[in-house]
């Protein structure tokens, strides 16, 4: 028997719960928590109940079982009921308001960023995005979907009679005394409406991300980034795929710029993700001609701003206007969709911005990704293999220790908990300007960055964070390895 489990922190996955049928689990008071190796870890209400142990063992045979006891009996009963709803709770969950409260409570407890209500042919899945991955959290009968979706649409101020057109709205509510803001979007599918709820509320974890210093920058990166924000003019561009955390970084930068209160900071966003104190936030609708990014930007520039944030540059007109405004004494922050920091330079030129304008205004190009952190409860260290040492340039005679994600009750068996950001930073120096004006491509500029500042590449930063135990080689491969190989040579070679 292992030491007691802190039940308030466990989050068994849907798959793990499925290993013991609900009825049996409730009858014997058993909550499966995780699969560690080939052993199922099961928390048992009564650690001395031999009959219960035998029952569980026979259910999950031939899998071996390790029994643990709950640290708190009341907490355990609550968790058992929540994960294996009994008839009373199941009945209660048929009421859409009770189901909504239940789903919200679980999403907050599991630190989910999004909730999806997915209708399928046979059932309705409630899925949650945790650390960037979707997990099924609850399965409901298909028939209940329409009522549940209708309830959410009413809360979000949407037209419930309209089921054939995508709609979006928002919900401000509370759960367990915590204010919760949700952005709601619906889209018709062949089995009914799919609803996505994005959690905009400030969880404790999210609050920490308000400060630049907590975003996972290494000291050198943080210094470069902060220095670029201290400039009176110029352009700072962040890039990365959707969900790479660039908005979080931008908001933290805006907060820092607005905090002293002596700058007029204006942001143009589509949509406004969350209010930032001291920032004039303008909502545009890029799909409508009436208030495009470019038009909003032109009018904002007449309002004497010191700092302008343009949510995203998608076209040449906006790009040119944004970069031109930096020539006349404004600091401009924006984002672009590219794979690498050097790609920001070439993308701007591809959009039609004259290279001289890019060269004279761009100060810093940043690419970022989010990588999962290994769970602190179950992470193990191992020595790097000779092959890995050869591949990554580590000393094979003295191989570094590498973290391995394992999986336990506290991380929903995923082996990961939370995420960290990795960054690539290209400072636009005279050397980089020369490359750009010579018409060199992304791969040439990347090669320059890799040779002059290998620690400032996504790859260099990710490997550094692997050695620090902040992420794993597996995460590095999944997120980085392929898409930054632009030099034609093997990136890991």
Note the residues at the interface with Zn ion (CB under 5 A): 375, 377-378, 408, 410-411
Least distance CB 111 / Zn ion (angstroms): 14
Question: Which residues have C-beta within 8 Å of that of residue 162, sequence separation ≥ 6?
Answer: none
Cβ proximity to Zn ion, 343 vs 407, nearer residue: 407
Q: How far apart are CA 270 and CA 313, in angstroms?
A: 11
Choice between 221 and 414, CB closer to Zn ion = 414
Task: Tell me whether residue 357 or residue 378 sits nearer to Zn ion (CB atom).
Answer: 378
Q: Closer to Zn ion at the Cβ: 34 or 358?
A: 34
Strand partners, 368: 423
Residue with smaller CB distance to Zn ion, 10 or 359: 10
Q: For residue 455, report the phi and psi dihedrals to the nearest 5 degrees.
A: -75, -10
Q: Whole-angstrom Cα distance, residue 108 to residue 117?
A: 16
Q: How far is the CB of 216 from Zn ion (least distance, A)?
A: 20
Q: How far is the CB of 45 from Zn ion (least distance, A)?
A: 22
DSSP 422-442: EEEEEE--HHHHHHHHTT--H
Rounded Cα distance, 313 and 308, in Å: 13
Q: Angle between the 430-437 and 341-350 helix axes, to the nearest 10 degrees?
A: 40
Sequence-distant (≥ 6) Cβ neighbours of residue 456 within 8 angstroms: 220, 221, 224, 423, 424, 425, 426, 449
The residue (of 235 and 408) whose beta carbon lies closer to Zn ion is 408
Tell the smallest beta-carbon distance from residue 53 to Zn ion (Å): 24
Cis peptide before 271 (omega within 30 of 0): yes
Q: On the CB side of 280, how many CA atoms lie within 13 Å of its CA? A: 15
Closest CA to 60 of 28, 96, 102: 28
Q: Please identify, using beta-carbon distances, which residue of 184 and 409 lies nearer to Zn ion.
A: 409
**Helix H or strand E encompassing 371:** strand 362-374
Q: Which is nearer to Zn ion, 31 or 378 (CB)?
A: 378
For strands 265-269 and 234-239, give the pairing. unpaired
Write down the least CB distance from residue 31 to Zn ion, Å: 16
Residue nearest to Zn ion according to CB distances in the complex? 375
Q: Which of 370, 371, 355, 346 minimizes the C-alpha distance to 237?
A: 346
Nearer to Zn ion, 282 or 378 (CB): 378
Instruction: State the nearest-atom distance from the C-beta of 417 to Zn ion, in Å.
Output: 6
CA 388, CA 474: separation in Å to the nearest integer? 12
Enter the DSSP assignment of 23.
H
CB of 438 to Zn ion, least distance (A): 50
CB of 39 to Zn ion, least distance (A): 14
To Zn ion, the closest distance from the beta carbon of 63 in angstroms equals 19
Number of Cβ within 10 Å of residue 356's Cβ equals 11
Pick the closer one to Zn ion by CB: 326 or 378. Answer: 378
Q: Tokens 């220095």 identify what position?
A: 227
Hey, which bits of 77-220 come out as E strands? 114-119, 123-130, 133-141, 167-175, 178-189, 192-199
Q: Which residues of 238-256 are buried (b: 16+ CB within 10 A; e: fewer)?
A: bbbeeebbbbbbbbbbbbb
CB of 11 to Zn ion, least distance (A): 10
User: For residues 305 and 415, which CB has a smaller minimum distance to Zn ion in the complex?
Assistant: 415
Distance of closest approach, residue 408 Cβ to Zn ion, in angstroms: 3
């Amino acid at each position: 028997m292992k030491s007691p489990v802190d039940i308030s922190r466990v989050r068994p996955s849907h798959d793990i719960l499925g290993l013991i049928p609900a009825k049996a689990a409730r009858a014997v008071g058993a909550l499966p928590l995780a699969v560690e190796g080939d052993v199922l870890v099961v928390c048992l209400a009564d650690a001395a109940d031999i009959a219960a142990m035998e029952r569980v063992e026979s259910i999950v045979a031939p899998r071996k079982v390790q029994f643990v006891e709950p640290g708190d009996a009341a907490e355990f009963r609550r968790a058992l009921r929540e994960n294996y709803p009994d008839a009373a709770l199941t009945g209660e969950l048929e009421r859409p308001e009770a189901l909504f409260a239940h789903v919200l409570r679980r999403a907050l407890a599991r630190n989910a960023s999004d909730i999806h209500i997915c209708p399928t042919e046979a059932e309705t899945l409630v899925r949650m995005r945790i650390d960037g991955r979707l997990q099924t959290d609850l399965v409901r009968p298909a028939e209940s979907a329409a009522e549940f979706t209708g309830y959410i649409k009413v809360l979000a101020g949407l037209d419930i009679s309209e089921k054939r057109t995508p709609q979006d709205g928002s919900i401000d509510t509370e759960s367990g005394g915590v204010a919760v803001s949700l952005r709601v979007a619906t889209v018709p599918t062949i089995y009914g409406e799919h609803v996505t709820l994005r959690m905009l509320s400030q969880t404790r974890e999210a609050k920490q991300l308000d400060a630049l210093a907590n975003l996972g920058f290494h000291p050198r990166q943080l210094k470069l980034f902060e220095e670029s924000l201290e400039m009176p003019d110029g352009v700072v561009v962040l890039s990365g795929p959707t969900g790479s955390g660039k908005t979080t970084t931008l908001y933290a930068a805006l907060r820092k710029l607005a905090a002293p209160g002596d700058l007029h900071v204006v942001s143009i966003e589509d949509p406004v993700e969350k209010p930032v104190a001291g920032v004039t936030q303008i909502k545009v609708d890029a799909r409508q001609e009436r208030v495009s990014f470019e038009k909003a930007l032109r009018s904002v520039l007449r309002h004497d701003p010191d700092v302008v944030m343009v949510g995203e540059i998608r076209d040449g007109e906006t790009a040119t206007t944004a970069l031109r405004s930096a020539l006349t004494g404004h600091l401009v922050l924006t984002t672009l969709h590219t794979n690498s920091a050097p790609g920001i330079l070439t993308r701007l030129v591809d959009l039609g911005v004259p290279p001289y304008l890019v060269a004279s205004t761009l100060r810093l190009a940043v690419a970022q990704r989010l990588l999962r952190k290994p769970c602190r409860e179950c992470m193990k260290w191992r020595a790097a293999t000779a092959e890995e040492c050869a591949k990554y340039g580590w000393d094979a005679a003295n191989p570094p220790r590498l973290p391995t994600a394992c999986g336990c009750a506290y991380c929903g068996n995923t082996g990961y908990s939370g995420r960290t950001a990795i960054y690539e930073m290209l400072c636009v120096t005279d050397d980089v300007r020369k490359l750009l004006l010579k018409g060199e491509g992304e791969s040439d500029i990347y090669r320059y960055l890799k040779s002059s500042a290998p620690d400032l590449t996504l790859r260099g930063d990710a490997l550094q964070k692997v050695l620090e135990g902040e992420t794993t080689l597996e995460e590095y491969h999944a997120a980085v390895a392929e898409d930054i190989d632009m030099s034609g040579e093997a990136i890991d070679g």
